[in-house]
Amino acid sequence: MQPRTHVTLEDVARAADVSLATASRALNGTRVTPHLRDRVLAAAEQLAYTPNAHARALAGASHRTVGVICHDVSDPYFAAVAGGVMRVAGDNDLLVMLASTFRDPEREIAYVSMLRAERAPAILLIGSGFEDPRWERALEAELKPYLDGGGRVAVVSRHRSLRVDSVLPENRAGAAAMARALLELGHRRFAVLTGPPMLTTVADRLGGFRDELKKAGVTLAVTDIVEGPFTRDGGYGAMSELLARGLEATCVFALTDVMAIGACAALRDHGLSVPNDVSVAGFDDIPAVRDLTPPLTTVALPLQQLGEKAMELALTENTGRRRRIHRMGGEVVIRASTAKLT
Amino acid sequence: MQPRTHVTLEDVARAADVSLATASRALNGTRVTPHLRDRVLAAAEQLAYTPNAHARALAGASHRTVGVICHDVSDPYFAAVAGGVMRVAGDNDLLVMLASTFRDPEREIAYVSMLRAERAPAILLIGSGFEDPRWERALEAELKPYLDGGGRVAVVSRHRSLRVDSVLPENRAGAAAMARALLELGHRRFAVLTGPPMLTTVADRLGGFRDELKKAGVTLAVTDIVEGPFTRDGGYGAMSELLARGLEATCVFALTDVMAIGACAALRDHGLSVPNDVSVAGFDDIPAVRDLTPPLTTVALPLQQLGEKAMELALTENTGRRRRIHRMGGEVVIRASTAKLT
DNA sequence: CCCGGCCCTGAATGCGCTTTCAGTAAGCGC
DNA sequence: GCGCTTACTGAAAGCGCATTCAGGGCCGGG
């Protein structure tokens, strides 16, 4: 943007016939004779003066806008978590700005860098980290000076690498619980719709599910695991592939609800009934799955609370010497998309 | 945030044993002897230097982060439009930050003010404006100096008041087309689920629908219009109220798909079948409605394109003397949620 | 061999604001 | 009435950086 001519504090001061210092004080509520203060305020109003946030920040004032970085705001999962963040932020008189990385590590770092450069008071990272330690190290390197400079960081669902305050959904335990629940329904042959292997969440959920099955003597064939992006269409595609191959499983576990929604659509388009022909289960419990027909069995995560907790962590000083970690959620909710195998 | 000690350009310059000016040039790609440049880059890397965006902006550089303000990012409507914005922004090497106002005019102004203070290169406003001219005037006053200062603004779905480049969904015409389509199916008694009357979109859609019915000699009783927030639960609640009163309409038109989803849920919970007992139609064509059972009849808006066009408007200079206005969408898509009345 | 010109570097300036520091006028006690 | 504190105000410094301006090597041409 080409700043053509901006109204500056100096203009206001001149218009009010006071010094620059007095104008600044009047605008910031520091003690100034009421008479002068009114004059300054009037002049500012009249000139449509807006303080330059950059100059202000440079001169030492702090902002009230925190940054939230997630994979994709249009994904209901992130939308819900972000909603929680905003609720708490709103209560604390903070503004929130959201960014979507579309799971591109470089973009993620670009946003962190920007927020850091802007000296945002806090940065929240929402969503799975990357398996590739190179990226996590790069991110850590970007975050470190920010933290040293007094910035506050909290993450949701990103563990392993980043040594900051964290809110962790019970991915592994939740997936294991789902495995037990599905076994209990009588299923023995499963298929899994999985996401990008570069995400740690994928490894956790898949691992938790597979390990629990193994304990029960059920093994998951490689051909029963199909990968797709963590989107509705990704789920649709993965399910279609599975169907094309000839589906032998009686139950499909999608690593996210969003994928499960796509899977249900594919099943329906293929003339199969859920849960009569195939049972389907998801993970996350996004609000939309209750309106599905049939409603989706899933592993419930308190999405909103995840965000709230993260914002709270970022807002409160960590007095201890270790990073704080909150684990939440992971309860199985059985709905009508899964049937008892008779 | 308390800046304790930050690595500054001066530190880098000292470490590389060059002048501050040279360090600045090296980092910004201006001509510098390769030898020195490498030394500076190495020093910067080693010190984990991040330029202070505020100082940089203050000194005249321009940012590459545009701001997008919408009512609620977790609403699929806005998520889709924002997706379009981000696509175009990404192509132009711009970062995007999103803000949710939750339909609070004050918060909207606060975000504009912040973005303006930060001298963001562009601000996009997504979503209906407010009927109360007071707010629109306040917003206009906030925007005016920003525009004068060279800022670029584009809006989606907000007309009447704001005199800036706009992308307008065909709300009125779309609702009218829907009225015709439903009449053609044989319906004569309608109910409407409407949103907050303070939004201009509500007036447009409701007006378009009602006027078209009137042309066909069908009048909409006041008691057949129920108001609720533009959310899934809002639709659920409004529909429930309608049912409690004793529904006489054969067809329910919800002003947004999100409300329609809630309405379908309420109908189902009430033991009624869509479309056998009641037909339901929505507006927007958000992606989720295709996965509904039955899929929703609605007025299709090219949501992604709405956002893309807005970003393009903001990116291209308006050479003419009038503001540019693009009208888009408004086609009726008949799906299975509406039945022919026999 | 000397001088003009070019390219690169460093010193210095200013972006708009907050804040310290010093200065002035008013208010108080003795 | 005088000295001293109190209460504001104004001048000025400096936040970190981009950039202009001037100075100093170096090369080529005369």
Within its chain, how far is the Cα of A306 from the centroid? 9
DSSP A38-104: HHHHHHHHHHT----HHHHHHTT----EEEEEES-TTSHHHHHHHHHHHHHHHHTT-EEEEEE-TT-
pLDDT tens string A253-306: 999 999 999 999 999 999 999 999 999 999 999 999 999 999 999 999 999 999
**CA distance linking residue A270 with residue A239, whole number of Å:** 10
**CA distance linking residue B57 with residue B62, whole number of Å:** 6
Asked whether B174 and B299 are in contact (CB, 8 A), the reply is yes
Mean pLDDT score, A313-331? 90
Q: Does domain B9-58 have CATH number 1.10.260.40?
A: yes
- Determine whether the interchain pair B62/A97 forms a contact, defined as Cβ–Cβ distance below 8 Å: no
DSSP A197-250: TTBHHHHHHHHHHHHHHHHTT----GGGEEE--SSHHHHHHHHHHHHHH----S
- Amino acid identity, residue B92? N
pTM of the model: 0.89
pLDDT tens string A7-28: 889 999 999 999 898 999 988 8
Torsion sign (Cα): B228, B234, B239, B240: negative
Low pLDDT (below 50) residues in chain B: 1-4
Q: Quickly list H helices, A118-218.
A: 133-148, 171-184, 200-215
Asked whether B124 and B314 are in contact (CB, 8 A), the reply is yes
pLDDT tens string A101-160: 999 998 998 899 888 888 889 999 999 989 888 888 888 888 888 888 788 999 999 877
**CA distance linking residue B257 with residue A47, whole number of Å:** 44
Tell me the nt nearest to B25, Cα to C1': D18
CB of A27 lies under 7 Å from some atom of strand C: yes
**CA distance linking residue B311 with residue B325, whole number of Å:** 13
Kindly state whether A50 is in contact with chain B, defined as any CB-CB distance less than 8 angstroms.
yes
CB of B7 lies under 7 Å from some atom of strand C: no
Within its chain, how far is the Cα of A5 from the centroid? 39
CB-nearest to A99 from B5, B96, B102 is B96
pLDDT at B5: 62
- Determine whether the interchain pair B117/A149 forms a contact, defined as Cβ–Cβ distance below 8 Å: no
CB of B40 lies under 7 Å from some atom of strand C: no
Closest CA to B219 of B249, B259, B184: B249
Q: Which of residues 291-320 of A touch strand C (CB under 7 A)?
A: none
Scan residues 209-248 of A and list those with Cβ closer than 8 Å to B: 232
**CA distance linking residue A109 with residue A314, whole number of Å:** 19
- Determine whether the interchain pair A53/B54 forms a contact, defined as Cβ–Cβ distance below 8 Å: yes
Q: Which residues of A touch B7 (CB under 8 A)?
A: 145
Specify the residue for token string 């807006």. Answer: A50
CB-nearest to A114 from B65, B86, B291 is B65
Asked whether B12 and B40 are in contact (CB, 8 A), the reply is yes
CB-nearest to B54 from A57, A83, A261 is A57
- pLDDT confidence tier of residue A5, bands split at 50, 70 and 90: low
First to last CA, chain A: 67
**A236 to chain B: closest CA residue:** B291
Q: What is the architecture of the domain spanning B171-301?
A: 3-Layer(aba) Sandwich (3.40)
Scan residues 108-137 of A and list those with Cβ closer than 8 Å to B: 110-111, 113-114, 116-122
pLDDT tens string B52-87: 888 888 887 777 889 999 999 999 999 999 999 999
Asked whether A66 and A125 are in contact (CB, 8 A), the reply is no
Kindly state whether A292 is in contact with chain B, defined as any CB-CB distance less than 8 angstroms.
yes
Asked whether A237 and A262 are in contact (CB, 8 A), the reply is yes
Tell me the nt nearest to B7, Cα to C1': D16
CB-nearest to A65 from B80, B114, B141 is B114
- pLDDT confidence tier of residue A3, bands split at 50, 70 and 90: very low
Q: Same topology for domains A9-58 and A65-169+304-328, yes or no?
A: no
Kindly state whether B6 is in contact with chain A, defined as any CB-CB distance less than 8 angstroms.
yes
What are the structural domain ranges in chain B? 9-58, 65-169+304-328, 171-301
The CATH homologous superfamily for domain A65-169+304-328 is Response regulator (3.40.50.2300)
8-state DSSP, A297: B
The distance (Å) linking the CA of B86 with the C1' of C16 is 32
CB of A53 lies under 7 Å from some atom of strand C: no
pLDDT at A34: 86
pLDDT tens string A56-113: 888 877 778 899 999 999 999 999 999 999 999 999 989 999 999 999 998 998 899 8
- The pair of structure tokens assigned to B313 is 């408007």
CB-nearest to B1 from A50, A107, A121 is A121
Spatial neighbors of B180 by CB under 8 A, at least 6 apart, are: B212, B216, B332
CB of A62 lies under 7 Å from some atom of strand C: no
Scan residues 59-118 of A and list those with Cβ closer than 8 Å to B: 62, 65, 67, 73-74, 76, 79-80, 82-83, 86, 95-100, 102, 107, 110-111, 113-114, 116-118
pLDDT tens string A221-263: 999 999 999 999 999 999 999 999 999 999 999 999 999 999 9
Kindly state whether A149 is in contact with chain B, defined as any CB-CB distance less than 8 angstroms.
yes
> Reduced to 3 states, what is the DSSP secondary structure of residue B165?
strand
- Determine whether the interchain pair A261/B291 forms a contact, defined as Cβ–Cβ distance below 8 Å: yes
Kindly state whether B292 is in contact with chain A, defined as any CB-CB distance less than 8 angstroms.
yes
**CA distance linking residue A7 with residue A203, whole number of Å:** 54
pLDDT at A273: 96
Q: Which nucleotides of D are covered by protein (CB under 7 A)?
A: 7-12, 14-20
A160: left (phi over 0), alpha (psi -120 to 50) or beta: left
Instruction: Give the residue ranges with Cβ < 7 A from strand D.
Output: A 18-22, 25, 31-33, 35-36, 55, 58-60; B 3, 6, 8-10, 20-21, 24-25, 27-28, 30, 49, 51-52, 55-56, 58-61
Q: Which residues of A touch B51 (CB under 8 A)?
A: 117
**CA distance linking residue B155 with residue B124, whole number of Å:** 6
Residues in chain B: 342
Q: Quickly list H helices, B92-132.
A: 105-117
How are beta strands B297-300 and B152-156 bridged, if at all?
A: unpaired
pLDDT at B32: 81
- Determine whether the interchain pair A74/B95 forms a contact, defined as Cβ–Cβ distance below 8 Å: no
Asked whether A338 and A182 are in contact (CB, 8 A), the reply is yes
Scan residues 298-327 of B and list those with Cβ closer than 8 Å to A: none
